[in-house]
Amino acid sequence: MKAGTTGAQVRELQHRLQQLAWFEGKITGTYGRDTTAAVRGYQAKRGLPTSGEVDQKTWDSLLERTKKPTRDQMYNILRPGPALLKEGSTGATVRDLQARLKQIGWFSGKVTETYGPSTAKAVKDFQTKRGIPVTGEVDQRTFDRLKAMTRQPTHEELNNLQPKVDAPRLDPRCMAGRALCISKSANRLTWVVDGKVQTSMSVRFGSELTPTREGSFQVNFKSRDHVSTLYHTKMPFAMFFSGGQAVHYSADFAARGYNGASHGCVNVRNYDGIAALFDQVHPGDKVIVHR
């Protein structure tokens, strides 16, 4: 298969690439620019010739790492599953749901144990954004996607308490000047100016095979609409600090959360947050990556 190929096998290819987070968007059955870029990225990752075309080795490699998609998956047909939570539901699980929706900006009210109209609307909005059947009810697919994009809510989040920003626990190197302070143990990026926390957001790092380097660095250059020349993936709002490693927005992190990993970069899933931070950070600002 190569650019210009169409048909059911291209649909299967696109879904298999999607399973591994190389292909984004709807399955189309047309081998276009996005499919070519996804194949190149996969080939580079697996040490195969990066032709952007699917030869037998590339196809066999994909078959080993993915499962055969169903007809519904190949034709973008999503069917809602049984409701786990819906309007009228109550209890601690509803409180957990609301707190998670609040983490990613879909729920703005106080966290309660009651699944009312505002919770149903937040679920509908989340489902619409993520391409899940829009019911306003939480089925297993909705719950799994939400859990992948969020972390376990804290006691403060579940009980509408003001979160504490524990500035003394920041790395001492972050407390003077302007610093992107990045904690691997907390999965957190904190923007600090003259010892004062300006903003903070969740991040993820490279895998064991492609670890994010630790140490004291500085922002070397910025690229608002960067595309990786090695992996052919988009890296919006990239702020490079160590060779090819950068802080940047990751659509995959936004979609899959901590189920995936970067190729060494510091991934951010808060699009608005990283967009605002990109405008504040200057080349030469410190980047501290620590445990």
Residues marked active site are found at: 248, 265
Which tokens is 44 given? 């580079």
Residue located via tokens 């055969």: 68
How buried is 289 (Cβ within 10 angstroms: 0-12 exposed, 13-18 middle, 19+ buried)?
Answer: buried
Inter-helix orientation angle 56-65/8-19, to 10°: 50
**Residue 25 backbone class (left: φ over 0; alpha: ψ -120 to 50; beta: rest):** left
Which tokens is 51 given? 């032709």
Q: CB within 8 A of 47, min separation 6: which ones? A: none
Q: Which residues pair with 204 in a beta bridge?
A: 267
Backbone angles phi, psi at 151, to 5 degrees: -115, 170
How buried is 80 (Cβ within 10 angstroms: 0-12 exposed, 13-18 middle, 19+ buried)?
Answer: middle
DSSP state of 149: H
Q: What is the dihedral of CA 48, 50, 55, 60, to 10 degrees?
A: 40
